[in-house]
Each structure stands twice: as structure tokens, then as C-alpha cells.
Chain A
Amino acid sequence: EVQLLQSGGGLVQPGGSLRLSCGASGFTFSNHAMNWLRQTPGKGLEWVSSISGSGADTSYADSVRGRCSISRDNSKNTVDLQMNSLRVDDTAVYYCAKGSQWLRGGWLDPWGQGTLVSVSS
């Protein structure tokens, strides 16, 4: 069974940093791009970042570019999202999701359980 288990998240002050992690099992991890998305009541679902199966190609939404960094460890089947200079509007539930192909842009299936990031003073 394909599973994604997220860790990290929590409460952080504006300007602070957080690292989200997602552990994968049940599939050949290096064969699939991995993605981070977030969800808020106001903005709905928003793609945040993607990384290719090898880790060589990464992409970011304009809203987080320069403040976030995605990385993966194919020996440990994990993908991380390092978030810096956090802002109040980064507050959201963050999900990792497996891509259906090696490069970015495939369908998202499955998703992790989600983790809440709350940015507040």
C-alpha cells in the first residue's frame, strides 16, 4: 500500500522557519516526482513546490519562491520542505503528494495526512 506520512509543522512567529518532512513507502520512490501543496479556507488548494524523481529539477510557486526549498533523499524515501521568512499568509494545512510521473506535472495520488502550519505572533 502506498503511504505518505508527514511530520513537522506547528506554530511559528512571523519571520521564523519550519521544516516539513514526508516519508514514503509502498512504491519506488525515485521513480516519482513529489509535491507540496497547501490549503486554506480562503484560498483553497494551492500548489507550493515540486521536485523530480532524481531531485535535479525543482519548481516553486511565486508565493514561496526564494523563501522555501524542497529536497529529497532517495535513500531514505523522504521529501522535505524548508520554509524560511514565514509570513502570516503562509498559515495553512500543508500536504505532500506523490506525482504520477518522474517529472513534475503528473497527477497527485496519494496525499499525506496533512500538517498545520500556523504563523502568528
Chain B
Amino acid sequence: EIVLSQSPATLSLSPGERASLSCRASQSIRIFLAWYQQRPGQAPRLLIYDASNRATGIPARFSGSGSGTDFTLTISSLEPEDFAVYYCQQRSAWPQTFGQGTKLEIK
């Protein structure tokens, strides 16, 4: 089973700042990585798929990069609604697995 490690566990930033979240895979997953956002009390929402493609309706301030084992989710300028938990997920090998999440909190 492929293990995804996210860092940091918690990121404290202010609105308007740039956020960079990391996801590292235990083996190469090519570009088969997605990012999800989960706000309190809500279900996860797909943000990025295939490492760098924004899902429908996702603002341009969200971008993804990386391939192989190292991936990054970048939020260029944080809005108040962006403070949430972010998960990465791989579908390169079965079973699909998730990272443990990064909590983005207001500083």
C-alpha cells in the first residue's frame, strides 16, 4: 500500500499570504495525485486532480505541482474560506490511499 505523508501537520498563516502544502509518496505515483479540501462539518471537495489540473469551479488561486513522489498544493493568496483541512490522495496503485491531512489555520 502506498503511504502518503503530508507536511506540515498544521500551517498557521494570515489572509492574503501564500500557502504551500506538501505531500510525499512512499513510491512513485507518476502524476496520479489529487488534493481535497474539507471544511468543518462538510465532506471533502476535489480541488486538484492529476497533480496539476483544477477541478470544475475551483478558483485560480489554487494550483498543484509535482510528479513521482513529491507534490505541492499552493494557494497564492489566502481567502478566509480557505482555512480548512487539505488531504492528498493517490490512485496510482490499488487501494487508493489518502494522506493524514494538513490543517490550515488562521494566524
Contacts and interface: CB of A to CB of B under 8 A. Distances in A.
Interface in B43-93: 43-46, 49, 55, 87, 89, 91
Contacts of A27: none
B100 interface: yes
Chain B, interface size category, equals: 10 to 19
B46 A110 contact: yes
Interface of A: 44-47, 59, 61, 95, 100, 104-114
B98 A113 contact: no
Interface of B: 34, 36, 43-46, 49, 55, 87, 89, 91, 94-101
Contact of B55 (A59, A95, A109, A112): A109
B94 A105 contact: yes
B64 to A, nearest CB: 12
Give the most central of A61, A95, A109: most B CB within 10 Å. A109
B43 A105 contact: no
A107 B44 CA distance: 12
